[in-house]
Amino acid sequence: MLQALRAELEQRQAQGLMRQRRLLDSPQAEQITADECQYLSFCSNDYLGLANRPELIAAMQDAAGNSGVGSGASNLITGHHRYHDELEKQLAEFVGMPAAMLFSTGYMANIGVLGALAGRGDAIFADKLNHACLNDGGYYSLADFQRFPHNDVQALEQLLKASTAKHKIIAADAVFSMDGDIAPLPEYLRLCEQYDAYMYIDDAHGFGVLGEHGQGSLNHFGLKSPRIIMMATLGKAAGVAGAFVAGEQVVIDYLIQTAKSYVYSTPAPPALSATLSASLKLIEQGDDLRAHLQHLIATLKHNLHLTKWQLMPSETAVQPLLVGGNDAAVKLSKHLQNQGVLVPAIRPPTVPVNTARLRISLSAAHKTQDVVKLAEMLNQAEKELAA
Ligand SMILES: *Cc1c(COP(=O)(O)O)cnc(C)c1O
C-alpha cells in the first residue's frame, strides 16, 4: 500500500496538482504572516472580521476559566454543557426556527443530518455544485442520490415528479462556496410543497452576511416553513468554529437521538460555545460590518477594468474571478503573491473543468484601500499575463 501511495503522490506532483499547506504565524486577519512572509489576504471566510476580535478572545479566556478546556464526554453522556445549551437556544431564536442543535463542524453536520433523515427508499436531490460534505452525506445516507444541474429548478422539478421515494429531501448550498451565487430557495420551497418534499439548506456562506441582522439566506428571502431544515457553520462569518442545524422541534429531537456524528462524538469545548454566544451578539449588532462589506464588494466591481478575466455574478462576500485554464489561474495567483497579496487559485475537481478561478474572499476587516489595491493589481496583471 505504501508503494501505491507514493506513486500516487508522485503522479500528483508531476501533474502540478500537489497542494501545500501554508504555515501561519498570525491570527486570521486581513494581514497575515504565512510561510514567514507578510501578506494582504483575500483567502479567509471570516467575512465579518470576527476571528481576531478582542471581545471574543476575552470571552473565550473567561469561559475557559469557568468551564475548562475539554468537553470530556459525548453529548448524551455528560458532554452537553450549559454553554452549549444556551448557544443552541440563542441560535434558534436568531434564525427564527423552533429549535437548533450544535455539531462540531459543518462537515459532520451534513453527514450526520443526511445520514439520519434519509435512508434506503428515500431520495436526496442535490445541486451539482454543492459542497463536498453534502455529497458525502448523500452517499453515506444510502438514499437514492440524484444530482441536478446548478440552480436548475426545472430539472429539479422533473426529478421530483418522477420520484417514487418515500421521503424526498432537496439538499443545496444557499450561497455556493466557489461561485458566490445564491440558490433559488423560494422556488425550492414551492417544489417542496407541491411534491411533498423537504429542504436541507447549507447556509455556510450566508449566515452572518445575508438577511436582516445577518440572519442568513432564508431570512434574505423571507422563507419560513416546517419543510425547511437549515445548517450553518460557525467557523466562517461567526469567526470561531463549529456548526448548527435548525428546524422543527421534532427534527432536532430526532437528530439528537440518531445523527451518528453527534451521538458518537465529543462536543467542542463549552468555552467555544460561550465565545460563539458573544460572536452572535456581534453578528446581530453588525449592520455596520455588513454595510462595509457591501461597500467593499461595490468597490471591487467598480475598480476592476478587465477584458479577458471576469468576475462571476455574485452579490456576496465570495467574488470569484473566472480565469479558465488551471495554469493561468495558478500563474495569476503566484503573480499576486509575489507582490504580497494572497488570493487562492481554485482548480478542478473543486470547480468544473475550464473554470479555474481566483476565489476573492472579502471581509469587513478589509479597508477600502486594500480592495482598490487588489483591483489595480489585477488590472495590471491582465495586461502583463493575459496578453
Ligand atoms: C465550509 C463549508 C462546510 C464545512 O463546514 P466546516 O465547519 O468548515 O466543516 C459545509 N458546507 C459549506 C457550503 C461550506 O462552505
Judge if the beta carbon of residue 206 lies within 6 A of ligand 1: no
Question: Tell me, what's the pLDDT at 386?
Answer: 78
Judge if the beta carbon of residue 133 lies within 6 A of ligand 1: yes
Q: How many CA atoms within 13 Å lie on the side-chain side of 236?
A: 26
pLDDT band at 348; cut points 50, 70, 90:
confident
Buried b (16+ CB within 10 A) or exposed e, 314-345: bbbbbbbbbbeebebbbbbbebbbeeebbbbb
The share of the chain scoring above pLDDT 90, in percent, equals: 95
Beta-bridged to residue 147, according to DSSP, are: 126
Judge if the beta carbon of residue 316 lies within 6 A of ligand 1: no
Looking at ligand 1, which residue's alpha carbon is closest to its atom 3?
A: 106
pLDDT band at 230; cut points 50, 70, 90:
very high
- Can you tell me which atom of ligand 1 is nearest the CA of 107? 9
Instruction: Give the Cα separation of 354 and 322 in Å (integer).
Output: 9
Judge if the beta carbon of residue 202 lies within 6 A of ligand 1: yes
Instruction: Give the Cα separation of 307 and 323 in Å (integer).
Output: 11
The DSSP annotation for 336-350 comes to HHHTTEE--EE-TTT
* Choice from 107, 130, 346 to test ligand 1 binding pocket (greatest atom count within 8 A of CB): 107
Number of neighbours of residue 291 by Cβ within 10 angstroms: 11
Active site residue 205: yes
User: How many A from CA of 102 to the centre of ligand 1?
Assistant: 14
The DSSP annotation for 11-37 comes to HHHHTT-------B-S-SSSEEEETTE
* List of domains in the chain: 22-48+286-385 (3.90.1150.10), 54-284 (3.40.640.10)
Looking at ligand 1, which residue's alpha carbon is closest to its atom 14?
A: 204
- Can you tell me which atom of ligand 1 is nearest the CA of 130? 13
| Cis amide leading into 349 (omega within 30) | yes
The C-alpha cell that represents 332 in the structure block = 495569476
pLDDT digits (tens, 9 = 90+) for 101-137: 999 999 999 999 999 999 999 999 999 999 999 999 9
The C-alpha cell that represents 340 in the structure block = 504580497
Question: Tell me, what's the pLDDT at 387?
Answer: 67
Q: Which of the residues 80, 131, 205, 292 is marked catalytic?
A: 205
Average pLDDT, the chain: 97
- Can you tell me which atom of ligand 1 is nearest the CA of 234? 7
Q: Which of the residues 80, 168, 236, 292 is marked catalytic?
A: 236
Q: Which of the residues 141, 177, 361, 363 is marked catalytic?
A: 177
Strand order in the sheet with 228-233: 99-103, 243-247, 228-233, 198-202, 168-173, 123-127, 144-148
* Helix 249-258 with 106-117: angle, nearest 10 deg: 100
pLDDT digits (tens, 9 = 90+) for 149-204: 999 999 999 999 999 999 999 999 999 999 999 999 999 999 999 999 999 999 99
Strand order in the sheet with 318-324: 310-311, 318-324, 356-361, 345-346
| Strands (E) located in the chain | 31-34, 37-41, 99-103, 123-127, 144-148, 168-173, 198-202, 228-233, 243-247, 310-311, 318-324, 341-342, 345-346, 356-361
Residue 374 · residue 73 · CB < 8 Å: no
Q: How many residues does the chain have?
A: 387
| Whether pLDDT at 18 is above 90 | no
Q: Which residues contact 80 (CB under 8 A, 6 or more apart)?
A: 267
pLDDT band at 97; cut points 50, 70, 90:
very high
Judge if the beta carbon of residue 211 lies within 6 A of ligand 1: no
Instruction: Give the Cα separation of 226 and 231 in Å (integer).
Output: 14
Q: How many CA atoms within 13 Å lie on the side-chain side of 211?
A: 23
Among 237, 203, 240, residue whose Cα is nearest residue 220: 203
Residue 139 · residue 171 · CB < 8 Å: no
pTM, 2 dp = 0.96
Judge if the beta carbon of residue 106 lies within 6 A of ligand 1: yes
Q: How many CA atoms within 13 Å lie on the side-chain side of 183?
A: 37
Question: Tell me, what's the pLDDT at 19?
Answer: 86
Instruction: Give the Cα separation of 335 and 1 in Å (integer).
Output: 38
Section 77-95 average pLDDT:
98
Active site residue 292: no
Judge if the beta carbon of residue 131 lies within 6 A of ligand 1: yes
